[in-house]
Chains A and B, each alone.
Chain A
Amino acid sequence: MNMEIKVLGPGCPKCKQAESIVMDALAEAGVAADVEKVTDVMKIAGYGVFGTPAVIIDGEVKSVGKIPTKADVMKWVKK
């Protein structure tokens, strides 16, 4: 099964940046994954994250409140 990645953010510039970094990292690492963008504020709150952009991979919260670096994302998706 594919890895499930969720990028949380209401649509601000930082969240878009986070999303494109995740995409780049996936392409570079050659990993297939389903990337979902969560923009609904209540859903974001439902994940319990205080602050966006946030990245969740397979149900595990990886980063909150900042744009992750490409290297970080590659590390998370490889394993």
Chain B
Amino acid sequence: MKEKTKLFWLVALYLGAYFIPWSDPTVRQAGFESFMMLQDYAREHVLTCLVPAFFIAGAIAVFVSQAAVLKYFGANAKKVLAYSVASVSGTVLAVCSCTVLPLFAGIYTRGAGIGPATAFLYSGPAINVLAIVMTARILGWQLGLARVVGAIIFAVVVGLTMAFVFRKDDANRAAGNLYLPDEEAKSRTLLQDALYLLMMVLILVSASFAKPGLADASVWKILFSIKWYVTGILLLVLAWMLKSWFKKDELTSWVDATWGFAKQIFPLLAIGVIVAGFLLGRPGHPALIPEKYIVALVGGNSLWANLFASVAGALMYFATLTEVPILQGLLGSGMGQGPALSLLLAGPALSLPNMIVINGILGVKKTAVFVLVIVVLSTIAGMIYGALV
């Protein structure tokens, strides 16, 4: 952080402490809500959902070979493959900001070109494992699924549109050697790796298995009553896999990567939850912003509401995962399901700061088209989803 930025935050904090009328009942209610929401996350989501998800993300970062994926982005790669891999590769590659932008610039200038590059740039932040798990868990599986499907389809459409609009423009492309990350020698088979990842996903699913309602089928109730036994057995199986399949240093780098994610994401998420709680409150509890404004802006499923949600999402910066508590607050205050999806599809992939960076790589015209396509698509997807649910 630059010294000026530090000063800015310090002054902002001071002014907040000085001027915010903390004794006002609405502000007190809002402050109460922000800590209730934080506790809600701490009790309901951290141990059963976030922690296992961090371990999965760590495993993907360490054990899934990046080189295997990246070779589909080379200059001579088949277009169909490049697009399909780009649209789903976010799950594997985009968990760290170290990779996204250099890789994007690389694919654009040296590799498969602007289409697959923008497809990758879009899909990356939208479909990483942590984001999917959190969305499905907290905002409901329908929205989680819609987010995944929407993001994959969008990535391809955005990429193809960019490639079509700028089909004549290859001036920035440069020939030259490509250097991919080295493929590492492996002691495990692909099947073993897959089983290991699957085991962690099963642990996540079983540990975060929600209590079924009274009307649900009895299968779910039985499953729920034994979920901790199932989780325990699965954990034992995982422990056995770790002991017999992995070398010591592999385990260390796995734990390191997991800890890296936790360090990076937990503080931001906690701040996101507190802010969302302060402004919007838990579902059903009012906080600082009166619900009628939320309903007026993004309630229902009108074109206006969807458009507003996707434009706001495109401009706002969401630190990893913070879109989830913010949307939870918004949905609880009367946001429609359609606009929620619009925001989820436009939000994490775009923000003002990242538009500036993309602008430095692509130039104004291409950036404008990229943003426009995403905003329009998000609005349409929101309208469709809102009409379905």
Q: Is the CB of B181 within 8 A of A45?
A: no
B104-139: contact bitstring with A at CB < 8 Å (1 yes, 0 no)? 111111110000000000000000000000000000
At the interface, yes or no: B11 with Cβ under 8 Å from chain A?
A: no
A48 neighbours in B (Cβ, 8 Å): 106, 110, 176-179
Q: Please measure, in the bound complex, the distance between the C-alpha atom of A44 and the C-alpha atom of B107, giving whole angstroms.
A: 12
Q: Is the CB of B98 within 8 A of A45?
A: no
A residues apposed to B, CB below 8 Å: 8-10, 12-15, 41-42, 44-54, 61, 63-66
User: Nearest A residue to B178 by beta-carbon distance?
Assistant: A48
Report if A14-B98 is in contact (Cβ < 8 Å); known contacts: A51-B66, A51-B180, A64-B179.
Answer: yes
Q: Please measure, in the bound complex, the distance between the C-alpha atom of A63 and the C-alpha atom of B181, giving whole angstroms.
A: 7
Please report which residues of chain B, range 57-92, place their CB below 8 angstroms from some CB of chain A when the two chains form the complex.
66-67, 70, 73
At the interface, yes or no: B97 with Cβ under 8 Å from chain A?
A: yes
Cross-chain pairs A/B with CB under 8 angstroms, 23 sampled: A8-B102, A41-B102, A41-B105, A41-B361, A42-B105, A45-B102, A45-B106, A45-B108, A45-B110, A46-B174, A48-B177, A49-B178, A49-B179, A50-B106, A50-B111, A51-B70, A53-B98, A54-B179, A63-B182, A64-B181, A64-B182, A65-B67, A66-B181
Shortest distance between the CB of B280 and any CB in chain A (Å): 31
Closest 6 CB pairs of A and B: A65-B181, A45-B105, A12-B98, A61-B179, A45-B106, A41-B105
At the interface, yes or no: B267 with Cβ under 8 Å from chain A?
A: no
B28-71: contact bitstring with A at CB < 8 Å (1 yes, 0 no)? 00000000000000000000000000000000000000110010
B111 neighbours in A (Cβ, 8 Å): 50
At the interface, yes or no: B99 with Cβ under 8 Å from chain A?
A: yes
Q: Please measure, in the bound complex, the distance between the C-alpha atom of A73 and the C-alpha atom of B328, giving whole angstroms.
A: 48
At the interface, yes or no: B101 with Cβ under 8 Å from chain A?
A: yes
Q: Known pairs A14-B96, A42-B109. 20 more at Cβ < 8 A? A: A10-B101, A13-B98, A41-B104, A41-B105, A41-B360, A42-B361, A45-B102, A45-B110, A48-B106, A48-B176, A49-B178, A50-B179, A51-B99, A51-B102, A51-B181, A52-B98, A54-B179, A64-B182, A65-B67, A65-B181
At the interface, yes or no: B103 with Cβ under 8 Å from chain A?
A: yes
Report if A45-B180 is in contact (Cβ < 8 Å); known contacts: A10-B101, A51-B103.
Answer: no
Shortest distance between the CB of B180 and any CB in chain A (Å): 5
Shortest distance between the CB of B111 and any CB in chain A (Å): 7
B contacts with A: majority SS: helix
Q: Please measure, in the bound complex, the distance between the C-alpha atom of A12 and the C-alpha atom of B66, giving whole angstroms.
A: 18
Q: Please measure, in the bound complex, the distance between the C-alpha atom of A66 and the C-alpha atom of B179, giving whole angstroms.
A: 12
User: Nearest A residue to B74 by beta-carbon distance?
Assistant: A50
Q: Please measure, in the bound complex, the distance between the C-alpha atom of A13 and the C-alpha atom of B177, giving whole angstroms.
A: 27
Q: Please measure, in the bound complex, the distance between the C-alpha atom of A12 and the C-alpha atom of B103, giving whole angstroms.
A: 14
Q: Please measure, in the bound complex, the distance between the C-alpha atom of A14 and the C-alpha atom of B73, giving whole angstroms.
A: 23
Out of B178, B260, B360, name the residue touching A50 (CB < 8 Å).
B178
A53 neighbours in B (Cβ, 8 Å): 98
A41 neighbours in B (Cβ, 8 Å): 101-102, 104-105, 357, 360-361
User: Nearest A residue to B109 by beta-carbon distance?
Assistant: A45
Shortest distance between the CB of B57 and any CB in chain A (Å): 15
Q: Is the CB of B102 within 8 A of A10?
A: yes
Shortest distance between the CB of A11 and any CB in chain B (Å): 9
A42 neighbours in B (Cβ, 8 Å): 105, 109, 360-361
Q: Please measure, in the bound complex, the distance between the C-alpha atom of A39 and the C-alpha atom of B111, giving whole angstroms.
A: 20
Best-buried of B98, B102, B109, B110 by chain A (most CB within 10 Å): B102
User: Nearest A residue to B100 by beta-carbon distance?
Assistant: A10
A9 neighbours in B (Cβ, 8 Å): 98, 102
Shortest distance between the CB of B193 and any CB in chain A (Å): 18
A66 neighbours in B (Cβ, 8 Å): 181-182
Q: Please measure, in the bound complex, the distance between the C-alpha atom of A48 and the C-alpha atom of B102, giving whole angstroms.
A: 10
A49 neighbours in B (Cβ, 8 Å): 102, 106, 178-179
Q: Is the CB of A10 within 8 A of B70?
A: no
Please report which residues of chain B, range 156-177, place their CB below 8 angstroms from some CB of chain A when the two chains form the complex.
174, 176-177
Q: Is the CB of A44 within 8 A of B102?
A: yes
A51 neighbours in B (Cβ, 8 Å): 66, 70, 99, 102-103, 106, 180-181
B97 neighbours in A (Cβ, 8 Å): 10, 12
Q: Please measure, in the bound complex, the distance between the C-alpha atom of A8 and the C-alpha atom of B99, giving whole angstroms.
A: 12
B108 neighbours in A (Cβ, 8 Å): 45
Q: Is the CB of A50 within 8 A of B174?
A: no
Shortest distance between the CB of B333 and any CB in chain A (Å): 35
